[in-house]
Amino acid sequence: MSWSQWAENVEDPRLAVDSNVARDVTGACDALLGEFKSMKLGLSDLTDVSGMGTLQSGIDLGRKFSLKAVGGCDSLEKSLDSHIAVVTEMRDFFQKCVDRYESVDASNATTLRTAETPK
């Protein structure tokens, strides 16, 4: 099951995540997303690998390493994008858990405030 599917079922009463844990995980996901995005910014330094010599084999090797960073079918850029997508889905799921708890708490507080107390 993907994280987006978990998020679709966040209202399922069988699914229980402690609100403090959900807040902590949401924060950790935000921090990890920041690190991934910072790594992506650093990829521009790896787009033109050189210094492998002037022979065609050296030029080809430099191009191969450049594509491993950005633009290749299995590049670091694509891997980071994939990780960012998964961690974003995780963060969204746990944020929905937090939102759900806050909504229930607010609803309960309103109900209790309006309830008549015996005198």
pLDDT digits (tens, 9 = 90+) for 44-72: 888 888 888 899 999 999 999 899 999 99
The distance in angstroms from the start CA to the end CA of the chain is: 52
- One-letter amino acid of 66: S
Closest CA to 10 of 68, 89, 105: 89
- One-letter amino acid of 26: T
> Is 6 within a domain?
no
Contacts of 58 (CB under 8 A, 6+ apart): 52
> Is 91 within a domain?
yes
Q: Output the pLDDT for position 84.
A: 97
> Is 109 within a domain?
no
pLDDT digits (tens, 9 = 90+) for 37-48: 999 999 888 888
Distance CA 51, CA 115 (A): 76
24 has pLDDT over 90? yes
pTM: 0.74
> What does the buried/exposed string (b/e) look like for 78-95 if buried means 16 or more CB atoms within 10 Å of the residue's CB?
eebeeebeebbbbbbbbb
Hey, how many other C-beta atoms are within 10 angstroms of the C-beta on 63? Answer: 16
Average pLDDT, the chain: 85
98 has pLDDT over 80? yes
> Is 58 within a domain?
yes
> Is 23 within a domain?
yes
Closest CA to 40 of 95, 87, 2, 91: 87
> Is 88 within a domain?
yes
Q: What sign for the dihedral angle of Cα 107, 108, 113, 117?
A: positive
